[in-house]
Structure 1
Amino acid sequence: MAKRKNLIYTSIVVAGILIILNFISSIFFFRADFTEDKRYTLDRSTKRILREVELPIIMTLYVSENLPPDVNRTVQDLKNLLTEYNNYSKRKIDFEFVNPNANEEFEQEAIEAGINPVPLEVREKDQIKVQRVFLGMSIQVGDKSEIIPLIKPGIVMEYTLSTLIKRLTIKDKPKIGYITGHGEPSLDKLGQAMTELSVLYDVEPIHLLAEPNLSDYKSLLLIGPMATISGSQLRRLDAYLAEGGNLFIAIERVNGMLNDGIGVTVNTGLEVWLQTKGLYVDDSFIVDKKCGTVTVQQQGYFSYPQQINFPFLPVVSKFADHTITDGIETVVFQFASPISFTGDSTLNYQPLAFTSDISGKLSAPISFNIGRVWRAQDFLHPNLTVAAAISGNMGGEKEARICIVGDGNFIVNGYGASKIAIQRDNINFLANAVDWLSDDTGLMSLRTKGVSSRPLSEITDGRVFFLKYLNFLLPLVSVIAYGLFRFERRRSKRTKRMKPGFIK
């Protein structure tokens, strides 16, 4: 009887503890994050954005029920993320969940908000059927709103949410000047870059001689000029830096014209002006064994496209420890030039991005040969600097900053039929650089959150040969060695048993 009472009391105590813990967990959300990139821990940029929230934020999730497990897991992760957002914003975020499939009124509400149904394959009773599901959300602050039309499984939602909240709550965006008039690509050719920068900044095209007051701009962008920049315009840049201005330069020191099969030097006067700041950009083409590919048509009985490595498209994955390169993994360049520092200790120089250990440079002018056989002597200049930053007093008492990249086209999308998608980290590099120049941490650490690329390390041909034969011979040698060991062991036992007196 006593044992039965003890069991009842123990069960009541355990049930009470579970109820209390469940109540506490509903109020205080906590979880341990053991992922490498801390994707389940709110970033410092997100926390800062949420602390600055003043107006209530209304988030509405339009999500269907009975979703497949992988999609449902994404929705559950999003719900947990919103709970953390609410806690850090001091309960200024109000979110609700709506199932548009429940009735026509909810479905119409979702469609009017901009959330449209998408077809989704669902396995049910050993059959696959396609059903219309809603998987989106809207965010509203005052009379402004933004939507996420489709929550894709597997993506890191924190950056998307924080970006939209920042866009809805920011009051006065700093102005960024985009310098034009020297053959620079127009803003509509920089679609990805402008979309990213527009979250925190107002980017305006300017002409150096027509703009009355450059100090109104937090930073200036000079991307890929191809025509001569006059001395009077360069002097305006000097005056801007002397007042503590900040400048991002993507210089096109060489021009690779694949259609004509030649590569030539580009002289705009900017390269000479940069030398007065201690930055020398060589008029040569970087070549790297770690590179992108080009498509060529192979002629034979049939004509077919083939991907061929093209060392003039270096793929850079080696970066210095700097705010600009925080979280950057891979940046792809085309016809880039190396950068070196010729200044003195009055300026703080920091190389940012480097080529691989198997890289080199070819002086312009050159002729392109797609079928060229590349040899070791073509890659005698390892770890060339492709991007760098300097800071310090540049003619005035205030600190100025310059970030330079030796490729003027690394963020150019183009437009129309020639439009291409740019590597995500190319855009992240530019956005991080503008944040650093503008002295604004912004969304810098969030842009690169989440593992996006894990390329294999380059190894030499000799090591490849060694590993190949090691993998082939090691199992054979191991089996033979084990066989000899067993043979010798059995022979030793037989010899021992044959000795007089072994059997007693």
Structure 2
Amino acid sequence: MKRTSLYSTAGILLITLIVVLVNLIANTRFFRLDLTEGKTFTLSPASKQVVGNLQDPLTVKVFASRNLSPQLGDVKRFLNDLLSDYRAYGHGRFRYEFIDPSTSDDLEKEAQSYRIPPFQENVWNKDQLELKKVYLGAVFLYQDKQETLPAVQSTAGLEYNITSLIKRLTSQQDRTIGFLTGHGEATTGENLRQVSQVLQSNYKVREVDLTGLDGVPDDIDVLLIIDPQSEIPDADKLKVDQFIMKGRPVGWFFNKVDADLQRGMARSRLLKIDEWTKTYGFRVNEDLVADLSSEMIQIQQRAGFFTIANTIKYPFFPRLNRFNKDHSITANFEVASLFFPSSIDTTLAADKEIKLTPLMFSGDRSMVEEGRYNINATRKFSEAEFDRAYLPLAAALEGPFDSYFAARDLPTDEDGKTILPEDELVKKAPENTRMVVVGDGLFLRDDYLSNPSNVLFLLNSVDWLVNDTDLIALRTREVKMRPLKDIAAAQKQVWKTVNWFLPPLLVILLGLVYWQVRRNSRTREI
């Protein structure tokens, strides 16, 4: 007994010594193990690069109340750890401090001067739920500029938001995204409000109407053409063409079929745009792509005297899960949604020394409809109709694009004079000129913007177009949407049967095992 007691005491002392040594080492050595798939809790290479390139000191003031709820307390600790990581890679130029505004009226005034307001949260006090005024926000100060995170209430996207703030503070120029208007395009003030608001976190945004202008304004860094409804006249084509010839990037997002789901009717959209875009190495085909993997819509159906709302899958709203993982725009994508999309002819670029990279594809059970379109929501599809696979629906292009007007007459004004003197026409773009094309303009509109991945696609596309890809991987690594893959009807029936009968069979089997064990133990006792 004495020897056993001695061993127990020695074991306890040894364990205590090990714990003390581990704590001493931990105080001098920083170590963190991140087992998440996307390394969510590890500072990304993009963030390390951005903070490592600071030329002047950057100060972060975090205004945080002391007694927060457990949920916000976790957010506060995560923010502290994250800022500590930034400081570790900031080469002495990144500093931060936590301030409790509730300790002083002056500190409260300082927080509010940085536009960090208090907000209400529910906290438990003596077994009662109370509303309490708290602070949890931060201001970033760099040179004579400042950016604010007014209310940090979640860890989701926090690293992306901080790195974006630092990039804005340290950027030497403000890039401007132009939205082409004048031909029925979607506009930032009417039906592109959400994407416009998101873009404004990193860029300036404004609409561009070419009427009366000599060309696309020089301060426009990227031109987006989203969902035009009518033909773009040659005068405007020339202005956009010469914008491209200067090496400026363009994003094309348009449907070739005008579809009305409410009326169940569709017809070709007379954009007369094919010859223009074929010059640049692509064409959006005049078709509709449907997919068995699709979004749900709600329809009204009659059942006797009643009208019933039913939710059904609608193949002309394909839910995509096949992406080019080798391109930065879609490398981390898992899902996106398109609406009445058209496929893209990718065979034209090879003859023009243009590098075309497909980005998004339909699934392995797709269908193409041409000529006469039947988009009625109650249409009965057969699986045999879905005999196509992996149709390209979006692409990135890069190369020395030819001018559409290199071998054409230049458009003239009302007096018969050419809008641009022929000797000033640029006929070849620089080799690094970029474009993105999607056979759908609806997927960015407010009334169709149900999938957050659609906004991410536009953000990634714009970043790639301006050749600023630092934030792309960081933006998408926290967004993981993995929809279940569709399976054949026979497989569904098999799994339904298994789910019906397997649980009770397992219960019966466990009962038999338990009964046999009890029986054996009684036999041994006898």
**TM-score above 0.5, yes or no:** yes
Match of 1:24 in 2: 28
Structure 1 residue 347, shift from structure 2 partner:
2.5
Output aligned runs, 1:124-203, within 5 Å: 124=125, 126-188=127-189, 189-203=191-205
1:480–1:129 Cα change, 3 Å: closer
Output aligned runs, 1:260-271, within 5 Å: 260-271=263-274
1:142–1:364 Cα change, 3 Å: farther
Match of 2:518 in 1: none
Q: Distance in 1 between matches of 2:389 and 2:140?
A: 49
Deviation string 1:309-366 (CA, Å, 9 cap, x unpaired) is 2222111121012111122222221111111222235322211101122221222543
Aligned residues: 475
The answer as to whether partners of 1:37 and 1:451 remain within 8 angstroms in 2 is no
What is the SS of the residue equivalent to 2:185? coil
The answer as to whether partners of 1:411 and 1:422 remain within 8 angstroms in 2 is no
**Unmatched 5+ stretches in structure 1:** 414-418, 487-504
Structure 1 residue 65, shift from structure 2 partner:
2.4
Deviation string 1:415-463 (CA, Å, 9 cap, x unpaired) is xxxx675532212111211222222214211211214412112211111
Q: Distance in 2 between matches of 1:451 and 1:116?
A: 28
What is the SS of the residue equivalent to 1:410? helix
Q: Which amino acid aligns with 1:466?
A: V
Runs (4+) off by over 6 Å: 9-16, 475-486
Q: Distance in 2 between matches of 1:43 and 1:195?
A: 25
- Most deviating of 372-381 and 249-258: 372-381
Q: Distance in 1 between matches of 2:128 and 2:218?
A: 65
Identity %: 29
Structure 1 residue 485, shift from structure 2 partner:
12
What is the SS of the residue equivalent to 1:160? helix
Output aligned runs, 1:389-428, within 5 Å: 389-395=396-402, 396=428, 398-399=430-431, 400-413=433-446, 421-428=449-456
Q: Which amino acid aligns with 1:162?
A: T
Q: Distance in 2 between matches of 1:465 and 1:274?
A: 47
Asked if 1:373 is matched to 2:380, the reply is yes
What is the SS of the residue equivalent to 1:390? strand
Match of 2:231 in 1: 228
Match of 1:79 in 2: 80
Q: Which amino acid aligns with 1:428?
A: L
Q: Distance in 1 between matches of 2:155 and 2:239?
A: 48
Deviation string 1:187-226 (CA, Å, 9 cap, x unpaired) is 2232332333334433443345724466764432211111
The answer as to whether partners of 2:249 and 2:434 remain within 8 angstroms in 1 is yes
What is the SS of the residue equivalent to 2:223? strand
Match of 2:295 in 1: 292
Match of 1:352 in 2: 359
Q: Which amino acid aligns with 1:394?
A: F
Q: Distance in 2 between matches of 1:113 and 1:213?
A: 37
Match of 2:58 in 1: 57
Asked if 1:36 is matched to 2:68, the reply is no
Q: Which amino acid aligns with 2:439?
A: G
Q: Distance in 2 between matches of 1:444 and 1:476?
A: 49
Match of 1:283 in 2: 286
Deviation string 1:261-294 (CA, Å, 9 cap, x unpaired) is 3111112122232233332322222222222222
1:480–1:161 Cα change, 3 Å: closer
The answer as to whether partners of 2:54 and 2:170 remain within 8 angstroms in 1 is yes
Output aligned runs, 1:102-121, within 5 Å: 102-121=103-122
Give the alignment partner of residue 477 of structure 2, picking from 423, 441, 449.
449
The answer as to whether partners of 1:60 and 1:138 remain within 8 angstroms in 2 is yes
1:85–1:264 Cα change, 3 Å: same
Output aligned runs, 1:215-364, within 5 Å: 217-297=220-300, 305-321=309-325, 322-343=327-348, 344=350, 346-364=353-371
Match of 2:409 in 1: none
Q: Which amino acid aligns with 1:334?
A: F
What is the SS of the residue equivalent to 1:443? helix
Q: Distance in 2 between matches of 1:113 and 1:425?
A: 32
What is the SS of the residue equivalent to 1:393? coil
The answer as to whether partners of 2:157 and 2:475 remain within 8 angstroms in 1 is no
1:202–1:133 Cα change, 3 Å: closer
Q: Distance in 1 between matches of 2:465 and 2:15?
A: 62
The answer as to whether partners of 2:294 and 2:315 remain within 8 angstroms in 1 is yes
1:192–1:30 Cα change, 3 Å: farther
1:333–1:324 Cα change, 3 Å: same
Deviation string 1:63-115 (CA, Å, 9 cap, x unpaired) is 22232333212211110100111122222222221223334443444344333
Q: Distance in 2 between matches of 1:217 and 1:150?
A: 32
TM-score, normalising length: structure 1:
0.83
Q: Distance in 2 between matches of 1:137 and 1:483?
A: 59
1:307–1:365 Cα change, 3 Å: same
Structure 1 residue 175, shift from structure 2 partner:
3.8
What is the SS of the residue equivalent to 2:329? coil
1:297–1:401 Cα change, 3 Å: same
**Unmatched 5+ stretches in structure 2:** 1-5, 403-427, 515-526
The answer as to whether partners of 2:257 and 2:268 remain within 8 angstroms in 1 is yes
What is the SS of the residue equivalent to 1:101? helix
Q: Distance in 2 between matches of 1:138 and 1:298?
A: 54
Q: Distance in 1 between matches of 2:512 and 2:75?
A: 56
Q: Which amino acid aligns with 1:407?
A: D
Q: Which amino acid aligns with 2:346?
A: F
Structure 1 residue 159, shift from structure 2 partner:
0.6
- Most deviating of 234-243 and 146-155: 234-243
What is the SS of the residue equivalent to 2:103? coil
- How large is the Cα RMSD of the aligned pairs? 3.5
1:306–1:133 Cα change, 3 Å: farther
Structure 1 residue 148, shift from structure 2 partner:
2.0
Asked if 1:429 is matched to 2:461, the reply is no
1:378–1:239 Cα change, 3 Å: same
- Most deviating of 147-156 and 459-468: 147-156
The answer as to whether partners of 1:254 and 1:283 remain within 8 angstroms in 2 is yes
The answer as to whether partners of 1:226 and 1:252 remain within 8 angstroms in 2 is no
1:44–1:68 Cα change, 3 Å: same
Q: Distance in 1 between matches of 2:343 and 2:253?
A: 12
Deviation string 1:345-402 (CA, Å, 9 cap, x unpaired) is 5322211101122221222543542222332133222222110122222233721322
